Chain A
Amino acid sequence: NAGVTQTPKFRILKIGQSMTLQCTQDMNHNYMYWYRQDPGMGLKLIYYSVGAGITDKGEVPNGYNVSRSTTEDFPLRLELAAPSQTSVYFCASSYTGQINSPLHFGNGTRLTVT
């Protein structure tokens, strides 16, 4: 049981490039989330999904896209990368959306856009 797995761990992008951050979970969780964490700041929700085929915007969705074709996978797509997207990205999942279901986080992806 690997939990939540994110790839890559690190990435450097040039301005205008695009990339996909991969996230997969093997816990059969319905809910999945993408957060970004900037230095000295709280985690901000980018997008979330309550199940396969369903996605919703979080607090800071601009510049990102997601898809949820399977229960296990929830990739985050960056189009036209900008320096403001330099951050640490965390994928998380939970069994249900109810708050007593703890969030399980992946190890994070450190992205630098230069």
Chain B
Amino acid sequence: RKEVEQDPGPFNVPEGATVAFNCTYSNSASQSFFWYRQDCRKEPKLLMSVYSSGNEDGRFTAQLNRASQYISLLIRDSKLSDSATYLCVVLGSGGGGADGLTFGKGTHLIIQP
């Protein structure tokens, strides 16, 4: 099983729809989880951290399911500007530094007008 696995997509979604995608991770001792957003030919930027209790930031909701070892990202009322690649990032069990981060390959989302 790959360390961090994401469906590469693309997910083609009409504007205004709700879309959700998951990311699975193999290390059950993983400590922290994040979603980064990467626009085409740009650098990744932190979208949100994922907390055990789930967290929401505007139209975005992130959830963690430790039992099944996956995190999810839900986008409501999708906008054209949400079109991007969403990277799942997991911190392994060794150390606390960002050198322990594993990046998924990303899920490509296309919002269509």
Contacts and interface: CB of A to CB of B under 8 A. Distances in A.
Nearest to A58: B99
Interface string B75-113: 000000000000100010001111111111110000000
Contact of A107 (B42, B87, B101, B106): B42
B43 interface: yes
A48 B99 CA distance: 7
A102 B106 CA distance: 18
Nearest to B45: A105
Contacts of A58: 99
Given A99-B31, A99-B91, A94 B98 contact: yes
Contacts of B100: 99
Interface residues of A, number: 27
Contact of B96 (A98, A103, A105): A98
Contacts of A103: 44, 46, 98, 101
A100 B8 contact: no
Interface in A82-106: 90, 92, 94, 97-103, 105-106
Interface string A51-92: 000001010000000000000000000000000000000101
A42 B44 contact: no
Contact of A42 (B4, B46, B96, B97): B4
B32 interface: yes
A32 B60 CA distance: 29
Nearest to A48: B99
Contacts of A43: 44, 87, 103
Contact of A105 (B44, B95, B101): B44
B98 to A, nearest CB: 6
Contacts of A101: 98
Given A42-B87, A105-B44, A31 B104 contact: no
6 contacts: A33-B99, A42-B102, A42-B103, A92-B98, A97-B96, A99-B31
